[in-house]
Structure formats: C-alpha cells, structure tokens
C-alpha cells in the first residue's frame, strides 16, 4: 500500500539556489515518499507565508534526478497547472488547501523513471525560494527492499570537564532519509551545540545508521533531554534520556 509521506524537512535545496529562509514565502515539504510501482505518489508542500492570500501565490514544481540539474515540471497559478514540454500532463495532479496554505502534488501510475527529488518553488520578495525537497523512491516490482524502522536506539552520555555530551544512536533503518532532533523537558526543540553525523551503512549490510551529539553545560546534569527521530516507517519516536556509559 502507499505509505504516507512525512511532513517535515529533510533534503536540501538544489546546489547554488538560495533556500530563502529569510524571505516571506518558505515552502516546507515532506522529505520522502516511498511508492509502489504503478501506484500514486503524493507529496505535500506547506507554504509558510506572510502574504494576505495563499491563492495568489504561484507555485512551481521541479524534478531533479541524481547527478542532473533540476528541471521545471510545472507551475500552478490561478487555480490550474501549466506543464513544461516533455512531461505527460495527465500523469500529474495539483491540489491546494487554502486554509492550511498547502499544495499537494500527485504523480499517477508511478514508474521507476519517476524516482527523483521533487522541489516546490515560489518567488520571494527578492529572489527565488526553493522548498526542502521530497525524495521519491519507487518500490515493488523494480525495487526489492522494504521500509524498515530502526532496529535499536540508545542515548549515551559522557562528562568532560564542565560539559556533558549526549550521543543518540539510531541503527539499522531503511531507507536512509531520517530526521533527528533534540528536545528539552518543555518539549522545546534544542538547536544549539548539536552535531549531526552522516548516515552510514556497513560494507556488508543494507540498512543505515546515524548518530547525533548534544553538548550541554554540566550544571544542566539534572535536566532531561530527549532524542526524537522521524522516519517513513514510524512517524514519530521519542526516547527518554537513557544514561549509559560512553567509552
């Protein structure tokens, strides 16, 4: 069956293009969509905008295949899409939900050639603003791997001088797109003094792992911190602070 896409950021904007985070219209996309062969892929983009009317915003969608430059697929304006030559218009559908500032892009009858990263795009006040990208993976007939949630996870800690380092390890998941964040006791996201490692895969394995490091002052030793991941297989998973020795 078609797995529901996540509603968080993950992929980065195309190389050389500003993400426009300082601007008034910011497209936020679901990071990954895994779709079976000949099913439909549904990707969402929520426009964080200060504009008076969402319906007046022109939204573009780009397709970027691995190793190639992004190519505009369509733009949506005035309630209807306009397609670029080379794309079969009847395979694509655009819907908008004005009350939620949301645009939904659907690809019908997905084939392996549709595998790519899809970027939404709007015009900000001073420059073009690209979304964070949704990676489409086509599974099923031409793709023999299935989605796998992380097999294990743990939080380690080590005190060094006047600092404490927490390490969140998330292991053996597939596919590789995952978002890891830290929150404090008030469920507020912690963004300072965090290092996110790269996703890795052992030479003889087919699943991925990742680590994230949080450093806090030693005076915060009695405070609780939480590691959270968001992955296609499990939308949200929180881990209570687990104190294990870090060698």
pLDDT at 177: 74
Residue 113 corresponds to which tokens in the numbers above?
């050639």
pLDDT at 36: 59
pLDDT at 213: 92
**Given a cut of 50, is residue 30 above it in pLDDT?**
yes
pLDDT (tens digit per residue) in 140-183: 543 445 567 778 777 888 888 899 999 988 888 887 778 788 88
pLDDT at 11: 37
Mean pLDDT check: name the lowest of 128-132, 154-158, 200-204, 224-228: 128-132
47/88: higher pLDDT: 88
pLDDT at 229: 83
Cis-peptide into 197, omega within 30 deg: no
pLDDT at 50: 65
114 φ, ψ (degrees, to nearest 5): -80, -10
**Given a cut of 90, is residue 15 above it in pLDDT?**
no
Rounded Cα distance, 29 and 203, in Å: 31
In which band, very low, low, confident or very high, does the pLDDT at 101 lie, cut at 50, 70 and 90? confident
Q: What angle do CA 11, 236, 199 make, to 5 degrees?
A: 40
**Given a cut of 80, is residue 45 above it in pLDDT?**
yes
Rounded Cα distance, 54 and 244, in Å: 49
Rounded Cα distance, 61 and 38, in Å: 21
Q: Are 230 and 6 in contact (CB under 8 A)?
A: yes
Alpha-carbon distance values, 202 to 149, 150, 171, 246 (Å) = 17, 15, 11, 21
For residue 116, the tally of other CB atoms under 10 A from its CB is: 22
The partner residues of 245 in beta bridges, in order of sequence, read 157
90/138: higher pLDDT: 90
pLDDT (tens digit per residue) in 107-137: 998 888 998 999 998 875 555 678 878 888 7
**Given a cut of 90, is residue 106 above it in pLDDT?**
yes
Q: What is the mean pLDDT of the chain?
A: 76
Write down the residue that tokens 């080590």 correspond to: 158
Domains and CATH numbers, the chain: 25-139 (2.60.40.10), 152-241 (2.60.40.10)
């Amino acid at each position: 069956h078609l797995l529901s896409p996540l509603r968080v950021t993950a992929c980065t904007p195309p190389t050389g293009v500003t993400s426009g985070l300082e601007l008034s219209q910011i497209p936020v996309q679901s990071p990954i969509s895994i779709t079976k062969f000949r099913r439909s892929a549904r990707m969402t983009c929520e426009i964080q905008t200060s504009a008076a009317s969402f319906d007046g915003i022109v939204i573009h969608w780009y397709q970027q295949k691995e190793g190639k430059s992004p190519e505009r697929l369509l733009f949506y304006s005035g309630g209807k899409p306009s397609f670029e030559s080379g794309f079969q218009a009847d395979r694509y559908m655009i819907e908008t939900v004005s009350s939620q500032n949301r645009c939904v892009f659907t690809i019908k009858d997905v084939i392996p050639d549709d595998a790519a990263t899809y970027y939404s795009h709007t015009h900000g006040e001073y420059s073009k603003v690209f979304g964070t990208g949704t990676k489409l993976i086509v599974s099923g007939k031409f793709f023999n791997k299935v989605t796998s949630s992380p097999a294990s996870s743990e939080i380690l800690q080590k005190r060094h001088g006047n600092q404490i380092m927490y390490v969140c390890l998330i292991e053996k998941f597939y596919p590789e797109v995952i978002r890891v964040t830290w929150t404090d006791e008030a469920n507020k996201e912690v963004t300072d003094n965090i290092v996110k490692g790269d996703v890795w895969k052992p030479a003889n394995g087919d699943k991925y792992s990742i680590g994230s490091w949080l450093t806090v002052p030693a005076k915060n030793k009695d405070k609780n911190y939480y590691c959270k991941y968001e992955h296609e297989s499990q939308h949200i998973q929180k881990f209570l602070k687990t104190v294990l020795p870090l060698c």
